[in-house]
Amino acid sequence: MSQPRLKTRLWVQANVRKCDVDGLSATVARRGDDDAGAVLLKINRLDGGFTVLAQARTVEGEPAWIRGTGPEPVDEAAADSYIARQVGRDGDLWVVEIEDREGRMPFGGVIL
């Protein structure tokens, strides 16, 4: 029997709290659908640019992330432009902003 899927709102809240425990600043910049919205992570590397990660799945169905803004950090305008395009396609998206000079991805899952 498969486990029920955790509501997106609760999953986001739990991961934001985990960031706080880990000493990272994380805020919900945009609320999406409570039950089934996908999540974008806007990672601010402070003086090192921004990376936007989008939720995905591996071929095995495991949680993963893709670099929506490419392999290298981009400026904030490019990150915000990518987010705006994605929100235009899917109004249910959540956006979480994380500040971390090292650019770590604290929400779990592999980056493809």
Are 86 and 109 contacting, i.e. CB atoms less than 8 angstroms apart? no
Instruction: Please state the rounded mean pLDDT for residues 11-30.
Output: 94
Q: How confident is the model at residue 5 (pLDDT cuts 50, 70, 90)?
A: low
pLDDT mean across residues, the chain: 92
pLDDT at res. 1: 39
Q: Where are the domains of the chain?
A: 27-103
* pTM of the predicted protein model: 0.90
- The correct CATH number of 27-103 out of 3.40.1530.20, 1.10.10.10, 3.10.20.30, 3.40.50.300 is 3.40.1530.20
- Digit-coded pLDDT (tens) for 52-94: 999 999 999 998 999 999 999 999 999 999 999 999 999 999 9
pLDDT in the model for residue 108:
86
